[in-house]
């Protein structure tokens, strides 16, 4: 590598059609790098691999081609953010182009890539060609199977800039306000929140709930049907995905984030909610356990997620939950700064590259 040439980092990951946590992560990382990274320039190529099917395959193939075309001006490091198996096809492509590869896996123990022996082997084999793995949190490598020969770094995640704005005045209304947001699916708990709302309704607890995001057609039909079956049309609102300030405002307008996902070990939406002063309820997994241990929140067992969440909500005073949420939000906003996050990421990028002249 020519030490006088500006280093180029290509971020790959996420899908333009189905925005969610990985897409938010990549967008914020790009903005943070362009603001605080003095070691080079960064740009983002969405992988467009979510819900891959025959109809969506051309979009994914165009993403592979876009990455190859971007290397006309040499890319020094590919930072690949993996949410599914097709994402990992960027690894052999990058290696064939002579590009160093840093991989971050947005996966937990219950993801499909970890549950299936064949998929686990395929993902491990493809990841083994990377030059370095960037863990999202200390302990992630104990939860998912990684190639033993690839060196590792731990990086931090990125809060949106809106998260650092002064919080709004605390709510004082009598209704518990629930929210669920992200790429909607059964595995991410998008149906479970409706079951929780039905349980709260039967218990006579006043509440409202908001579900924000997009899912495939079958999921959206099932979600609407379940809301109707429980007679919750006036209590549960559905809305399309929100970006930037609108999402942070929605999170800040809730008391509790319900994230009963069996797939996300370190969900970005949970940290965003915590920064907004919204206490999370989540299934006990290593990543979210690290978040709630450091700050606040409630973990529930995967085989009793809805009943555990209901029992915890019934046992807590709403005014106390709001006080705890405000205190938690202040700590999270103080602990996470883009400069600090970029510093840990830059160290991983530097470690991915060979020494100058090598």
Q: Are 283 and 305 in contact (CB under 8 A)?
A: yes
Q: Which residues contact 131 (CB under 8 A, 6 or more apart)?
A: 100, 101, 102, 150, 151, 352
**Do strands 152-154 and 8-12 pair parallel, antiparallel, or not at all (unpaired)?**
unpaired
pLDDT value at position 107? Answer: 84
Distance CA 281, CA 261 (A): 10
pLDDT value at position 181? Answer: 96
pLDDT value at position 358? Answer: 41
pLDDT value at position 37? Answer: 96
**Do strands 100-105 and 132-135 pair parallel, antiparallel, or not at all (unpaired)?**
parallel
Q: Are 310 and 196 in contact (CB under 8 A)?
A: yes
Question: Tokens in use for 34?
Answer: 């362009």
User: Which residue in 67, 115, 117, 72 sits closest to 87, CA to CA?
Assistant: 67
> Which pTM was predicted?
0.75
Residue with tokens 């509440």: 207
**What residues in the chain have per-residue pLDDT under 50?**
1, 357-358
In the chain, what's the furthest Cα-to-Cα distance? Answer: 69
Question: Tokens in use for 206?
Answer: 């006043």
User: What is each CA distance from 276 to 166, 320, 327, in whole angstroms?
Assistant: 10, 16, 10
pLDDT value at position 170? Answer: 67
Q: Are 129 and 95 in contact (CB under 8 A)?
A: yes
């Amino acid at each position: 590598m020519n030490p006088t040439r500006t280093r180029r980092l290509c971020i790959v990951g996420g899908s333009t059609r189905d925005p969610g946590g990985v897409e938010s992560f990549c967008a914020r990382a790009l903005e943070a790098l362009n603001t605080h990274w003095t070691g080079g320039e960064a740009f983002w190529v969405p992988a467009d691999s979510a819900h891959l099917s025959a109809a969506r395959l051309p979009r994914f193939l165009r993403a592979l081609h876009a990455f190859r075309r971007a290397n006309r001006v040499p890319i020094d490091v590919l930072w690949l953010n993996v949410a599914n198996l097709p994402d990992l096809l960027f690894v052999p492509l990058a290696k064939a182009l002579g590009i160093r590869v840093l991989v971050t896996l947005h996966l937990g123990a219950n993801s499909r890539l970890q549950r299936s022996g064949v998929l686990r082997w395929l993902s491990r084999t493809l990841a083994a060609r990377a030059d370095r793995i960037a863990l999202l949190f200390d302990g992630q490598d104990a939860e998912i199977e990684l190639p033993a020969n690839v060196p590792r770094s731990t990086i931090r995640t990125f809060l949106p800039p809106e998260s650092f704005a002064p919080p709004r005045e605390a709510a004082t209304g009598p209704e518990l306000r629930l929210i669920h947001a992200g790429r909607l699916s059964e595995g991410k708990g998008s149906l479970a929140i409706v079951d929780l709302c039905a349980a709260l309704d039967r218990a006579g607890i006043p509440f409202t709930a908001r579900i924000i995001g997009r899912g495939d057609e079958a999921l959206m039909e099932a979600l609407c049907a379940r809301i109707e079956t429980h007679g919750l049309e006036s209590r549960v609102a559905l809305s399309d995905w929100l970006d930037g300030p609108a999402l942070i405002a929605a999170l800040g307008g809730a008391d509790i984030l319900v994230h009963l996902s069996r797939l996300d070990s370190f969900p970005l939406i949970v940290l965003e909610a915590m920064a907004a002063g919204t206490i999370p309820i989540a299934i006990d997994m290593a990543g979210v356990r690290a978040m709630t241990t450091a700050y606040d929140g409630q973990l529930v067992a995967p085989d009793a997620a809805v009943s555990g969440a209901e029992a915890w909500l019934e046992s807590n005073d709403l005014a106390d939950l709001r006080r705890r949420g405000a205190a938690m939000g202040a700590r999270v906003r103080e602990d996470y700064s883009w400069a600090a996050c970029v510093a840990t990421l830059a160290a991983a990028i530097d470690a991915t590259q060979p020494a100058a002249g090598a």
